[in-house]
């Protein structure tokens, strides 16, 4: 029995070490943590790798993706959006598994005509199904400076943050038959592209190419997440390294709940859970379940 206990202690310590190696805090260098997916001539990175911009013109947009895939964690990205007339453009920052039945967690910034506010659309894909759009107006001008956009993804919930304010949650109600992204690792991606078939007033306002080129800038990102190594057990474990899975992050705090309600009361302009016409009075199951 003595030797058995010693063996179990050693196994436990090895598992903790393996868990710790599975998690990463990013370098903050775009050249080291990301690769360009397309149009490298439309991607500009500072000499120190700390900031990156993408350009959209009539020739192309651009995109970049993380070198690693992750299963749970928190991703923060500071973004400065396209200034002036940005109608028809889409800047996206998101996690995706790139599988046929993909999981995906989206921030999409929908451009607008000069003088009109940006629309921030969020969406969640689970097992290949989406139709979970929410839209808000931001309470600041996102083109004047960098602002922080974050995704917390753990076993309990997904939380979208803007400057540390929770704007949306999507809880794990898998036990009630609601799909939740929990098995597929996802990469971190950012793209800038032509979405003028739908992005601004349902496609009514097209891109005015005479206002281009259109530039979106990124910087000061942080990836604190479990790197996918092929075994979900390590990423699903509760540990000091995998802090996001701990009970403290299983729901919003009381302060976060107040901010969450403020955003939804004063800044929300569309919620799929209130669109009875779209779903023919058969709203998705999660719409009737707690948000935190």
Where do we find the tokens 């779209």? 278
- Choose the catalytic residue: 59, 104, 247, 286: 104
> DSSP string spanning 106-170?
EEEEE--STTSPPEEEEEEEBTTB----EEEE-SS-TTSS-EEEEEEE-SSEEEEEETTEEEEEE
Long-range contact set of residues 210-213: C-beta below 8 Å, sequence gap at least 24: 211/84, 211/85, 211/86, 212/56, 212/57, 212/58, 213/55, 213/56, 213/57
Q: Is 108 a catalytic residue?
A: yes
> DSSP string spanning 178-200?
-----SS-BEEEEEEEE-TTTTT
Pairing of strands 147-153, 23-25: unpaired
Report residue 14: phi and psi, to 5°: -65, -40
The helix (run of H) or strand (run of E) holding residue 234 is helix 232-236
Report residue 11: phi and psi, to 5°: -60, -45
Extract the tokens encoding 240: 């000091």
Collapsing DSSP states into helix, strand and coil, what is residue 104?
strand
- Choose the catalytic residue: 59, 108, 133, 247: 108
CA distance 193 to 219: 19
CA distance 128 to 120: 22
Instruction: Decide if 237 contacts 73 (C-beta within 8 A).
Output: no
Point out the residues that are catalytic: 104, 108
């Amino acid at each position: 029995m003595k030797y058995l206990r010693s063996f179990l202690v050693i196994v436990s310590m090895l598992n903790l070490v393996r868990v710790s190696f599975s998690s990463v805090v990013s370098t903050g260098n775009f050249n080291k943590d990301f690769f360009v997916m397309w149009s490298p001539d439309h991607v500009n990175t500072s000499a120190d790798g700390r900031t990156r911009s993408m350009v959209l013109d009539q020739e192309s947009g651009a995109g970049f993706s993380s070198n690693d895939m992750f299963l749970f964690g928190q991703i923060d990205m500071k973004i400065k959006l396209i200034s002036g007339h940005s109608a028809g453009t889409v800047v996206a920052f998101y996690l995706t598994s790139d599988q046929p039945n993909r999981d995906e967690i989206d921030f999409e910034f929908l451009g607008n005509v000069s003088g009109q506010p940006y629309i921030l659309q969020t969406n969640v894909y689970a097992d290949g199904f989406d139709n979970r759009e929410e839209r808000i107006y931001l309470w600041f001008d996102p083109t004047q400076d960098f602002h922080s956009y974050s995704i917390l993804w753990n076993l309990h919930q997904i939380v979208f943050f803007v400057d540390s304010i929770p704007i949306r949650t999507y809880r794990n109600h898998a036990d009630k038959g609601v799909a939740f992204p929990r098995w597929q690792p996802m990469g971190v991606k950012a793209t800038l592209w032509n979405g003028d078939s739908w992005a601004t007033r349902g496609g009514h306002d097209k891109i005015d190419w005479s206002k281009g080129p259109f530039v979106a800038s990124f910087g000061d990102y942080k990836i604190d997440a479990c790197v996918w190594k092929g075994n979900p057990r390590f990423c699903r474990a509760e540990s000091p390294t995998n802090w996001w899975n701990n009970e403290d992050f299983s729901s919003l705090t009381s302060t976060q709940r107040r901010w969450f309600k403020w955003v939804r009361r004063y800044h929300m302009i569309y919620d799929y859970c209130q669109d009875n016409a779209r779903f023919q009075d058969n709203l998705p199951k999660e719409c009737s379940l707690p948000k935190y």
